[in-house]
Amino acid sequence: MFEQTIHALHEQLKAGSLKARELVEAILARCIAVEPQVQAYISLTPDLAREQAEAADAAFARGDIRSPLQGIPLALKDNLCTQGIVTTCGSHMLESFVPPYDATVVRRLREAGAVFVGKANMDEFAMGSSTENSYFAPTRNPWGNLEYVPGGSSGGSAAAVAADTCIASLGSDTGGSIRLPAAMTGVVGLKPTYGRVSRFGLVAFASSLDQIGPLTKDVRDAAILLQAIAGHDKCDSTSGDIPVPDYSQGLDRGVSGLKLGVPREYFVEGMDPEVEASVRAGIETLKLLGAELVDVSLPHTRYAVATYYVLANAEASSNLARYDGVRYGLRAASDGDLLSMYKQTRAEGFGSEVKRRIMLGTYALSSGYYDAYYKKAQQVRTLLRQDFQQVFTECDALLSPVAPTPAFRLGERLDDPLQMYLADIFTAPVSLAGLPAMSVPCGYTQQDLPIGLQIIAPPFQEAMVLQVGAAFEAATDFHTRKPVLP
């Protein structure tokens, strides 16, 4: 039963042919069986899951059906604050941090009656593309005999869905951190428009880029989970006060008559040939379903990765300054003065990738370099946004690869940060423009590694992303394949 979707399980729970407690026990047993190999979680919460499942069963028994998520076991990325549950961000710095409150998305899921299996592993403070930067352990991709990365930084959230140790999960996406692991693990991953989902209670990496979104087994599940977490929140001044449509309503509309743009800059020299072939085949599938393909250009794409890593690191430098060993989190032992304690705490608390990004961001913000780097990057960000605005006058949505390669081997890029950063080449531009985008499975390599097709739409048009994704999914069976764990 742990291989089933939210919508299939909801029907069984509603009919009484399945109990939430049975489902939770099946998921927990699955965790015992495969979690030591995959390491998708930083912490499991079996007692809470059982308590929430029993509450869901009681609600079903009295006819109180509040949401399709009622009684459904979910994983939460470990940068989402959960009241009374350790929230580490994959870092030694927050190894013992227990938030006194829930993130808004967590509160909304509690109110929907969802069940929390545990906190999913991640690159430290969401900084990474492979989930190898976790302080606790690297997560392994369920595909490829556990020899490959699951992508990052939401690699634990994606791997848990792929390995069936939860039914669905939440991740966060700053420059591709939902879409990249979704593509590499063969699941669906949706990054909403910046402002569609409240960031309150999401531990900040880059505040102008961070967004929370679902990782699921199919597109309909993504619509269901997005429905539960989307909407304005007075606790987040950047959340959009815009009505939330019923995302499940338009999933069967198909793509006939839609104009779908194919950006020529997203098919670059050096791209893995199997990735290009699968993505182009996926695009042709949508054409056969009735969509009109439009050749479009996003001319400033070549500057996106550099722009992203200037802006994201600058914001990280500012956001992570709060970890000083005084208020919460790690405090290193120090015989010196207050400044020595700050230095020692940060030296011990942060991993090498986080330190690298803090230093790069601090440099970009420093006197004499601010205009040359940070200000210039903001100007280029505007040009990137204008590129998308222009192409969306010509088409309804865009189609592209998610990443230039499939999943790479564990350890392969740890000593080459630039190669790691280039994994974001097709996802970072979308984040800089604040657009919604989704990865759906569109193929597999000869090594049986998943490949993702990226669907991009104008701001707050998640319904369009889901509509195109659902049409593609209905015409293919890539999303139904499962990894065989050793």
CA 456/CA 474 separation, integer angstroms = 19
Nearby residues of 344 by Cβ (< 8 Å), 6 or more positions away: 325, 332, 333, 334, 336
Of the candidates 19, 77, 119, 191, the residue annotated as catalytic is: 77
Between helices 304-319 and 376-391, what is the axis angle to 10°?
130
Distance CA 428, CA 437 (A): 11
CB within 8 Å of 109: residues ≥ 6 apart: 69, 74, 116, 170, 228, 229
Please report the sign of the dihedral spanned by the C-alpha atoms of residue 294, residue 299, residue 303, residue 308. Answer: negative
Q: Determine which helix (DSSP H) or strand (DSSP E) holds 173, and give its type and residue range.
A: strand 168-173
**Which residues on adjacent β-strands are paired with residue 115?**
73
Q: Which of 177, 317, 400, 431 is catalytic?
A: 177
153 catalytically annotated: yes
Partner residues linked to 260 by β-bridges: 293, 397
Q: What angle is formed at CA 114 by the lines to CA 156 and CA 186, rounded to 5 degrees?
A: 35
Tell how far CA 92 is from the center of its chain: 22
- Residue in 91, 129, 134, 153 annotated catalytic: 153
Angle at 432 between CA 74 and CA 208, to 5 degrees: 70
Relative to beta strand 450-456, strand 211-216 is: unpaired
Determine the 3-state secondary structure of 147 from DSSP.
coil
Instruction: Fill in the DSSP letter of residue 121.
Output: P
What distance in Å separates the CA atoms of residue 52 and residue 47, rounded to the nearest whole number? Answer: 9
What are the distances in angstroms from CA 193 to CA 10, 190, 373, 452, 460? 27, 10, 26, 19, 6
Is 177 a residue of the active site?
yes
DSSP result, 314-325: HHHHHHGGG-SS
- Give the largest Cα separation in the chain, rounded: 71
Q: In this structure, is the dihedral angle defined by the CA atoms of residues 446, 176, 283 and 384, taken in order, positive or negative?
A: negative
Measured from the Cβ of residue 279, the count of other Cβ atoms closer than 10 Å reads 25
Active site residues: 77, 153, 177
